[in-house]
Structure 1
Amino acid sequence: MTIVYTNQKFPPPPFDEEIDQIHYFRDLYEGNHENIFPRAQSFAEQTVQSLKNQYRKSKRIYFKRNAEKLAQKHAVSYYVVANFSSVIAELPADLINRSLGNISADTEKDNSLLEFVENVEKASKINQNIWAAIVQHQVDGGVAYRIRRDSKGTWFEWKPADLYFEHEDGKGADIPWVETRNKDKYLRVERQRLNDNQLLIEQLVFSMDGETVKEQLDIKEYASLYGLTIPDNQILNNVNELMCGYIPNDETLLVPRGRSGLRNIDMIQEEINWTITRDSVVFEKHGKPKLAIPRALWDTVASKNQKYYGDRFVRNADLEVVSYDEKNGAVPMYITWDAKIDESFKHVQRLIDYMLAISKTSAQAVGVNTDGGGRSAIAILYEWIQSVIKAEAIKDKFDAAIKDAIRKSVILENALGGTNYPVSDPVVEWADMLPKAESEKDEEEIKKYEGGVQSLETTIRNLHPDWSEDAILAEVEKIQEEQAINSFSPNYVQPPKTNITGEDE
């Protein structure tokens, strides 16, 4: 049931076709469109060929001999990449990244567990790496994570989808990667496998010849040969979960490992690029003002150049001072091109609208179809609602993944560290994805507190997210003391006035 690597190309089937698609969408996201779009490739080849011909016509021998190399090095392609694909992949990451809040253990009394979860969060750099993980999740169609325990402590890391292969029976997974040592290539694999209430974690290494995996090598000899520190194979008793996991994007029953968030928009992106490129080429050729001169003047200057240089031509410098034809009144004049490109711009706008609709992205969120004027948070929410709904669904998956990763970190620490922490999901706090005006945010938090649905401590934390825990607790105590003082309403009642008179008066 495990994956066989020897004597076949890497990556192995059935993952090879999926990884080809992953690399395709990575080029689309990165803007390397000359690698995937035929018209971009043809345009780049034409540019190189044109420059090569110019070098070959040069009178300098160096240029003639090195025309091919110089053309490849100095060719400048006019192919324009207006890459909306990157915006579509990054927008959910932007929204989710700003909404991730505090992460802590689900306890108020177990200080050791609270400290452990805090250390896992710091070592894993969750807040720093969440943006990159979500972008990769959108581009590749999924992202994986792996739990680790080393000198940093116990923590987890995100891994791209092409470095996570689950076993067919669902009882194991491989995390493979290629290492280059000097001129030799090796395939490293961390294999995790569940069997009889145990988790086996193995470290494997294979030699490679190009893209083909050859024989399996002894991992200890490999570590000794290159001076590497590789953990020994481990058997974790009473562990029934893999210390890794996978988060698919837009998975279906037929594609359980997920699909790229950039699917179905690649051809639209290519058409946008080509339309803009075509307009740019037209502008380059015809947009500059051209100087028109009388035929007789051109012949005069060209004849002089033929006499001095052996060829009939006219330079701009030749026309800085010209003679005036008194008989015909013919003088040089500039011709400007009045371009009519409104329909071309409308076509590009339609394509952008199609792309955003297919990818479930709000136009306002990417900066198109916007209008001026201040709007409330509620109004902005309705304008961004499509992107927010999409981001909320992705956030729920990462919320579950972060909780699973930290819970598995507790399991691994108990198994290898001799601890006995209770195994449960941590608490992951999320804020609103869209920014709000301070006054509007303060009003909402105060209403929640006054309505009795939110504690004073949570209210202060939400109002001051940059405060430390000590500052928050100090503020809570100060407010509670002031409330206690204000709750007293002593009435100083004076005794009634009386007249005291003597009996003999």
Structure 2
Amino acid sequence: MALRTWDKFDKSIIEETHGSIERYRDLYEGNHIELFPRAKRLVQQGEITDAIAEGNHVAQQIQTPYIIANVSKLIPEIPAVLVARSIGSVTSSLLRRQEQIEELDDETDSMIEGPDDNSLNAEILDAQQEIIEQIEKNSKLRTEHWTNIVQHQVDGGLVGCVWIDELGPRMEMKQRDVYFPHDDDLGVDLVYDRKIDDDRFLHVYRERVEKDGLHTEHLLFMGEDNSTEFIPVDEEESKQLLGMKDLKKVYKGRNRPFVVYWANEKTFRNPLGRSCLKGIEGKQDEINWTLTRSAITFERNGKPRIAVSEEVFSRLEELAAQRYGEDNPEKKIDHRDLEITTFDDNGKALEIIQIDTSKIGDIETVRNLMQMVLSETRTSSKAIDYYLGESTGTASAQSGVAKFYDLLTSILKAEQIQSEYIYFLQQLYENILWLMAEEDSAVMIEEPDIAIRSMIPISRKELLEENAMAYEKGTQSLETTVRNCNPLASEEWIQQELERLEMASETPNTFGGGTLASYLDNRDQPLTSDEE
């Protein structure tokens, strides 16, 4: 199969593969004035202001800002919050082997952080678990779950890469617009438009499955700053520029790429997934338009106006002429002259006119549009209420079960994302361990276990009662119970806690285990003295 030569690269090539993902990123970020023609036209006509994009620009007519109710921001963030808080610790699925510790070579040993001496802190207790923990630390994974899921939802896909370099074994997430799969699904190109020593280069990392295994290769192309044309750089110069000894490598026995792609809402028509914001652009535009139009109407008509009779107005003009002179082009009228007035024949002096601002605009339409957006994106409307509950007074104390059913729609969506995300991470862990096993056979290749916590916050009391009941009924082990009740505890603390619980259960109760017969020395009759 002929592979892409990458002698040309521009925005159109990205859009050909991934579509207009920049549009969805702007939609999420709230850069709506550049997206929606009506908003852009209002700014140009001076009807509204855009202080963020235009600075302190004053509108020609009025000073009404463009109002953005960014519902698009909540759509990816709500499942991200639910899933991110549910991802627990990562543990090895294999039993601890003392032989593995002895078989580790010096290079793998050096990848595990610790003093380089014979002290207790330098001792490796569980090699496989410590390798997995080191990968998690190098990848800073605990702080990246929310970011990964939001990017996956907004872009419609997420790329996972694995490396072993000067930073140690780690996984790294990248945006989908660097990912270009081969047409036969047997390989992938990751394309980076980057600067090296102030020169522009196109760096292509290629993985390709062949009969003898997985082939990896780094390609480098050079181009001008404003050009879409690139020319290949020879191998020796590429090694020097990239700081690599070898640009090619073959992993025998490997029939899958190390690069993992996670698609969102994948279909046959969208094999690389689709953004969760696809299809709601028009509704977001209408929401902003309705709110801004209401603000313009209020700005023009919300201020109170005073109506007076013709005789009163003539008198006010006379007083103004006396005070300001005949040269009064704006016909200013002093409000102090309205303190004492005369009535007309019908008994009217002056009347204050002000429109009912509650009738301005169609806020009900905005609510309906928001509800449509939530239903199309499988987002529970109650999830929005939790954002507003503190300010509107609708928040109330609820049990975990009540919250579950309130957020059922969002939880169903989040659970699907959770299972896919866990599988995505497990594949990346396995790929890193495969790379390490290539250099050290003592490293075991596995898909580690990833603990799951509750998506919905519940009280400490509910958490303990739920897990205690499951343990007492035999539906979960003691180790699982300890982990669930202490989700933030370290692996060392959990193992020590299990040992303490095991020792407590095995220690005999010298008093509680006794019977009345044992206290009587197993005699049928109590002991009596000779005197009796």
TM-score, structure 1 as length reference: 0.85
Q: Trace 1:100-499 onto structure 2 (pairs within 5 A).
A: 100-110=87-97, 111-180=126-195, 185-209=200-224, 210=226, 212-218=228-234, 221=237, 229-230=243-244, 232-238=246-252, 239-292=254-307, 294-300=312-318, 303=321, 307=325, 311-314=329-332, 318-319=334-335, 324-326=340-342, 334-341=352-359, 344-367=362-385, 371-415=394-438, 417-485=439-507, 489-491=513-515, 492-494=518-520, 495=523, 496-497=525-526
Matched, 1:83 2:53: no
Name 1:56's counterpart in structure 2. Answer: none
Q: Which residue of 1 aligns with 2:3?
A: 2
The corresponding residue for 1:97 is 84
Whether the 8 Å CA contact 2:264–2:274 is kept in 1: the answer is yes
| Cα distance change on mapping 1:313 and 1:485 into 2, 3 Å | same
Per-residue deviation, residues 21-47 of structure 1 (Å, max 9, x unmatched): 211111111111112212111122122
The residue number in structure 1 matching 2:103 is none
The residue correspondences of 1:33-44 to structure 2 (distance < 5 A) are: 33-44=32-43
Q: How many Å separate the matches in 2 of 1:418 and 1:301?
A: 99
Q: Distance in 2 between matches of 1:113 and 1:17?
A: 43
Would you say the 8 A contact 2:400–2:457 is kept in 1?
Answer: yes
Tell me, yes or no, if the aligned pair for 2:49 and 2:57 is still in contact at 8 Å: no
In the TM superposition, residue 132 of structure 1 has moved relative to its aligned partner by 1.0
Separation in 1, partners of 2:443, 2:17: 39
Q: Shift in Å at residue 243 of structure 1? A: 1.8
Gaps of 5+ in 1: 52-68
Q: State the distance in 2 between where 1:394 and 1:216 align.
A: 40
SS in 2 for 1:367: helix
Q: C-alpha distance in 1, partners of 2:194/2:383?
A: 41
Shift of 1:7: 3.8
Counterpart contact for 1:95–1:434, Cα < 8 Å: yes
CA spacing shift, 1:252–1:163, aligned 2, 3 Å: same
Partners of 1:467 and 1:160 in 2: CA distance: 32
The farther-off stretch of 42-51 and 379-388 is 42-51
| Deviation string, structure 1 residues 469-499 (Cα, Å, up to 9, x no partner) | 3433333333334433466512233243466
> How far off its partner does 1:255 sit?
1.3
Paired with 2:73 and 2:133, the residues of 1 have a C-alpha distance of: 33
CA distance in 1, matches of 2:77, 2:43: 28
Q: Is the 8 A contact 2:91 2:132 kept in 1?
A: yes
2:154–2:275 contact (8 Å) kept in structure 1: yes
Q: Distance in 2 between matches of 1:9 and 1:188?
A: 14
Q: Judging changes above 3 Å, is the alpha-carbon distance between structure 1 residues 302 and 222 closer, same or farther for their aligned structure 2 residues?
A: farther
Counterpart CA distance in 1 for 2:530 and 2:335 is 128
Secondary structure, aligned partner of 2:230: strand
SS in 1 for 2:265: coil
State the shift of 1:138 in Å.
Answer: 0.8
d(CA) in 2 for partners of 1:378 and 1:327? 68
One-letter amino acid of the counterpart of residue 97, structure 1: A
3-state secondary structure, aligned to 1:267:
helix
Q: Secondary structure at the match of 2:475?
A: coil
CA deviation profile, 1:182-211 (whole Å, cap 9, x unmatched): 875332221222223233322222233425
**CA offsets per residue over residues 361-407 of structure 1, 9 Å max, x none?**
10001227975543321121111111111011111111111000000
Q: 1:133 and 1:231 mapped to 2: Cα distance?
A: 32
Q: How far apart are the structure 2 equivalents of 1:325 and 1:119?
A: 85
CA spacing shift, 1:367–1:297, aligned 2, 3 Å = farther
Name the TM-score, length of structure 2 as normaliser: 0.81
Q: Distance in 1 between matches of 2:289 and 2:494?
A: 56
Distance 1:182 1:124, change over 3 A: closer
The verdict on how the C-alpha distance between 1:165 and 1:500 changes in structure 2, with shifts beyond 3 A counting, is closer
| SS of residue paired to 1:261 | coil
Residues 1:50 and 1:81: Cα distance change in structure 2 (over 3 Å) = closer
Structure 2 counterpart of 1:348, one-letter code:
V
Cα distance in 1 for residues equivalent to 2:528 and 2:215: 98
Offset of residue 422 of structure 1: 2.2
The letter for the 2-side match of 1:432 is S
Contact 2:294 2:361 in 1 (8 A): no
Cα displacement string for residues 308-350 of structure 1 (whole angstroms, at most 9, x for unaligned residues) = 86633427xx435667345759877643222352881221111
> More deviation in 417-426 or 161-170?
417-426
Equivalents in 1 of 2:171, 2:181: separation in Å? 18
The one-letter amino acid paired with 1:125 is: K
- C-alpha change, 1:302 and 1:237, in structure 2 (3 Å) is same
Partners of 2:37 and 2:153 lie apart in 1 by 24
Question: What is the number of equivalent residue pairs in this alignment?
Answer: 478
For structure 2, list consecutive stretches of 5 or more residues without a partner in the other structure: 98-125
